[in-house]
Amino acid sequence: MKMPEWWRVRPGKRTLAALLVLILLAMAIYGGWRASGAADVGPAGQTWQVHREDVDQQLALVGVVESARVIQLTAPFDGVVTEKRFQHNQLVKAGDALLHIDASELAQQRAEAEVAYLKAQEQRRLFDHLDNVPDISRARRNLALAQAAWSNARKKAQETALLFDKGIVSRNERDDSEEQARQQAALAQSATEELASAQERFNAVQKQVAEVNLAAAQHKYQALLHAEQNNPLTAPISGVALVSQPAQSGQTPVERGSRVTRGQPLLNLIDPANLVVAFKVDEMLVRRLQAGQEVQFYSDVLGQSLRGSVSFIAAQASPVLSAAKSAEFEVRAELAHAQTRQQAALIGSTGKLSLVLPLWRHAIAIPVAFLQDSAQGPQVYVRLPDGQVRPRSVQVGETQDGKVEIRAGLAEGEMLMTPPL
């Protein structure tokens, strides 16, 4: 191949010539690109047509996975742990036996409660058979005797009155028999009132006491019976078993041989089917957060992203430890279900959480390159319809991702120019 004459020069000059050719070629391409109108570059620099748009803000946060449901299992009665069938942080299934407690003390308590319950039942039955109540039985016997005496006295008075009419007995005898009848009638009436009073007292006070005693005895007996039947202690749901840490220093977690008391926390059962990720949002941003808003949580444990939705926004900010730090609000988001073992592994882990918040809606936002500070405040350069470029003061808002919100001073459709150098 025959080289052109200009190429047949010394090596140093040949390199210079090649550079000149490349520069001319680049200028030609740039000129053609400008002529084609592919770039919005004018004599004064870049341009931007004013328009309204929706702008979102993406937050990158750190969240901690928690369970939305924690069940605390307590000792159902006093006793000594004879078996422990789980390990701390172990995944257990619903119905699995977890702890067995010696129930010998409980059996004695349950037997005593059963006797008290039977006695209370018997006491309550007295109201169904009032004749068996001592006070009422005595009053009823007195009434029967008084009524019998009155009947006899009345009969004798009638007979004496007939004999008096025949002149067989005297007036005094007749009057005495009638007086005796009246006295016995009064005694019978008194016995009737005494019986009514005994029944009223028994119904109003003792019946109420008997019913209260019966209810208390029944509750105690059934509670002890239920506690006895709830041995061994079983898992009500499938979840992660965590040994409860003792509230007092010097105590150890429950193990075989430990003595426990009724109501003492033994373990927490974490439900992995209902997981939430907890995170905090700055006070300046929380007002734009809404329940149901979608979040993405990347778990390093699983090596994948999980979708969630905001389920809780604290009504008050968390305590601020430093005056230099702004307040934050606690937020929780429910996570989509994963497999049970995966969910269990997530509890207590941290991960990256992304959340998109609405920043501006139907707002005018321009690139910060078109904004310039001046003695009169923020201003932009507007290209008028006749081609002239004039500065104009504007009112600005927040800045996000290289754009600034213009709250006043511009209208849709206007053309901006970058400030002159």
User: Which pair of structure tokens corresponds to residue 198?
Assistant: 């005994």
User: Which pair of structure tokens corresponds to residue 89?
Assistant: 């942080």
**Residue 111 dihedral angles phi and psi, to the nearest 5°:** -65, -45
Instruction: Tell me what pLDDT residue 69 has.
Output: 85
Instruction: Tell me what pLDDT residue 21 has.
Output: 46
Q: Residue 40's CB: how many other CB atoms inside 10 A?
A: 12
Chain centroid offset of residue 207 CA? 44
**Residue 23 dihedral angles phi and psi, to the nearest 5°:** -65, -45
pTM of the model: 0.51
User: What distance in Å separates the CA atoms of residue 160 and residue 174, rounded to the nearest whole number?
Assistant: 5
Confidence label for 391 from pLDDT (cuts 50, 70 and 90): very high
**Residue 10 dihedral angles phi and psi, to the nearest 5°:** -70, 155
- The answer, yes or no, to whether residue 406 has pLDDT greater than 50, is yes
- The answer, yes or no, to whether residue 421 has pLDDT greater than 80, is no
Confidence label for 371 from pLDDT (cuts 50, 70 and 90): very high
User: What distance in Å separates the CA atoms of residue 43 and residue 328, rounded to the nearest whole number?
Assistant: 49
Q: Lowest mean pLDDT of 131-140, 148-157, 162-171, 271-280, name the range.
A: 131-140
User: Which pair of structure tokens corresponds to residue 115?
Assistant: 């006797």
Q: What average pLDDT score do residues 168-172 get?
A: 87
Question: DSSP letter string over 147-198?
Answer: HHHHHHHHHHHHHHHHHHHTTSS-HHHHHHHHHHHHHHHHHHHHHHHHHHHH
Task: Give pLDDT tens digits for 195-204.
Answer: 788 776 666 5
Find out whether 80 and 100 touch, Cβ atoms under 8 Å. Answer: no
User: What distance in Å separates the CA atoms of residue 96 and residue 34, rounded to the nearest whole number?
Assistant: 77
Sheet strands (E) in 170-303: 233-234, 239-243, 259-260, 265-270, 275-282, 294-299
- The answer, yes or no, to whether residue 8 has pLDDT greater than 50, is no
Closest of 86, 112, 102 to residue 224, by C-alpha: 112
Closest of 367, 376, 421, 373 to residue 399, by C-alpha: 367
Residue 373 C-beta-side C-alpha neighbours within 13 Å: 0
